Copies of this chain bind each other. A is one copy, B any other.
Amino acid sequence: MNSSLQTAKDLDAADPLAWTRGEFILPDGIIYLDGNSLGALPKKAVTRIEQIVREEWGQGLVSSWGTANWLSKPTEVGDRVGKLIGAATGQTIVADSISVNLFKLVCAALEMQAGRRTLVSEASNFPSDLYVLQGLERLWPGVSVKLIGRDGTFDELVDGDTAAVILTEVDFRTGAQHDMRTVTEKVQQAGALMVWDLAHSAGAVPVDLDGCNADMAVGCTYKYLNAGPGAPGFLYLAKRHQHEARTPIAGWFGHKDPFAFDVDYAPAPDIRQFLAGTPPIVSYGALEASLDIWEQVSMEAVRRKSIALADFFLDLIDQLDASYGFTVASPRDGNARGSQISLKHPNGLAIMRSLTGKGVIGDFRAPDILRFGFTPLTLSFENVWHAVGILDDIMKSGEWSNASTERGTGAT
């Protein structure tokens, strides 16, 4: 091998982010290449959650809405997430799921674009995003969803009837990355609003929402942002739209004065309008602990390591026996992909099962994608070297063919 164990050790020795691994709980005997599905547990998340539960809830009880600042958590934590995605304060909240947040924003976009009824997305977008759009298509007379790659191309589909374009920046299967700035500009030139899904971007690649003049965005905190299974999503709405955009789900936390208990709804004059019900206080604990780490690293350093890890992985894959039959489904150019590498193989599911059995956790996406996520805060180059070594063993011995291929599950 050209890329050897010694190469890995050298790269680790020179890694300015090596220290962050010590901030996470990483199970023994596991090489975790699935942080793009569910991020690892920050050590301090355990104590922060316990503090919220034991002290703020258990001792403070209802008074903690004020004394522990529970009321401002969705915007306070939102602003902290905003820093990681290029959003100035007052534009990001953390609450509800990504699907619910996408629903809110696309409804708002449809209302803002009264003369336009088409929603454009990609056939390869994450399905839940498509389902949200299809639900709106069924619900809202005149609205139709058109998909790039199924109904036509970008230039054919984005036209004077396009209300909004909804794209995930980093493709969940292949890791291919859109050029946010260029796409946003093209969409806006066509008079449409641009809604970005940053599920595989936040904490994975540098994002500059304000700099790209983005209109709206959603994303999740349980992947690269390490906030735990089903942690709340985030929602971004550019300040210039906040006077006009209206959430469809008018709830008390979006009221300008929730504790006045007015009979009539009056929206908050800012991003808080897009809150709905009571926010999930305990869930913010892990995210706060994770953000404490994220705020000590630069996204540029994270990106450099992400590309280096994935390039090292590709080098090692290229050195495998060609007869194994893998092809690379992700862009070879590190700047054109997110923080994952996907391989194609007709026996992908059995191979991934076999890898998992040996402690190398990636995931499988039908029909033939083996997906490996590279989370720079929790992975070493030596991890990557060992992972490919185990893949080599499995392929060489043929033992992958003993693995079950009954369909399993896994998050995105």
Contacts and interface: CB of A to CB of B under 8 A. Distances in A.
Interface of A: 25, 27, 30, 32, 34, 37-38, 40-41, 45-46, 49-50, 53-54, 56-59, 61-66, 70-71, 96-100, 103, 107, 111, 123, 127-128, 130-132, 134-136, 138-139, 147, 150, 220, 222, 228-233, 246-255, 258-265, 276-283, 286, 356, 361, 363, 365-366, 407-412
**7 interchain residue pairs of minimum CB distance:** A97-B277, A135-B250, A128-B252, A99-B251, A99-B277, A229-B281, A41-B58
Contacts of A58: 25, 27, 40-41, 46
Contacts of A410: 62, 65, 259
A27 B150 CA distance: 60
Nearest to A56: B229
A263 B130 contact: yes
A251 B104 CA distance: 13
Given A96-B100, A407-B259, A277 B128 contact: yes
Given A66-B408, A128-B255, 18 more contacts: A27-B59, A65-B409, A70-B229, A96-B97, A97-B251, A99-B277, A100-B100, A103-B249, A131-B265, A132-B249, A134-B265, A229-B278, A229-B281, A230-B280, A233-B277, A258-B409, A280-B283, A283-B283
Nearest to A220: B278
Contact of A45 (B53, B98, B136, B281): B53
B276 A97 contact: yes
B71 A409 contact: yes
Copies of this protein, total: 2
A295 to B, nearest CB: 21
9 contacts: A34-B61, A63-B356, A96-B97, A97-B278, A99-B249, A103-B249, A222-B278, A228-B281, A278-B412
B252 A131 contact: yes
A128 to B, nearest CB: 4
A121 to B, nearest CB: 10
Contacts of A97: 96, 251, 276-278, 280
Contact of A41 (B54, B135, B250, B252): B54
B259 A409 contact: yes
Contacts of A220: 278
Given A46-B50, A65-B409, A409-B71, A230 B131 contact: no
A130 B251 CA distance: 8
B264 A134 contact: yes
Contacts of A62: 34, 37-38, 361, 363, 410-411
Contacts of A259: 407-410
Nearest to A26: B58
A283 B282 contact: yes
A45 B139 CA distance: 40
Given A25-B54, A255-B131, A229 B282 contact: yes
Contacts of A37: 62
